[in-house]
Structure 1
Amino acid sequence: VSDLFGSDLPVEGGEGGQFSWRDGPLLQALKSGHWIVLDELNLASQSVLEGLNACLDHRAELYIPELGRSFKIQHEKTKIFACQNPLNQGGGRKGLPKSFLNRFT
């Protein structure tokens, strides 16, 4: 999840033990109003799917507990697309819950 949303990382050139928050690519895209492609979504871990859930339901926001903040999806700018390959291609692919799939058209 931190690879997508962001995390606290060591400050380059900073003193030992100094960390600062760095936005992940998903949070950067949401803040900028960019289009987002979630490729191979049926290979995502349960924690990633749960993290994305609030982006895709009526809340339309991403909550970052480390920051104690929510970021609203800019519907007029941001579009979220998801891709997946068929389950029979193997590689650990799983069927996504119908309730999750219903969030896409």
Structure 2
Amino acid sequence: MKKLLVPAAVFMGLIPAVLLGGASTASATGHYSCSNGLANVVTCNATDVGPVIVKITGSRTLTDNELSVLENNLNNAAVNVTALKNVTVDTYKSFNPSVTIKNINVCIASVCS
């Protein structure tokens, strides 16, 4: 009978992947939670990435369902400014009645754009 030895480093590297649900979730961003704010601003904060702040035109606020859709889409986006902005724009386009975005500010690692 042969014994299979797995180096501890390899085994320890597998644990986070299993806990996160595999490699497909590794590109996901960090647990966004979105809320309506004052002056037509929606803020989505992430525990380990940075906020996405969206200024919208008009007096429209997002419903709880729309906030959930935005959170889910952000949580499945790549962690970079362009991807997060594109996901936000595409998400807002899907809402009915539509939402017009005035400005999007994305902050990652204390760098905002």
Bin of the TM-score, shorter chain as denominator length: under 0.3
Structure number with greater Rg is 2
Q: Compute the TM-score of the two structures, normalised by the length of structure 2.
A: 0.25
- Greater fraction helix: 2
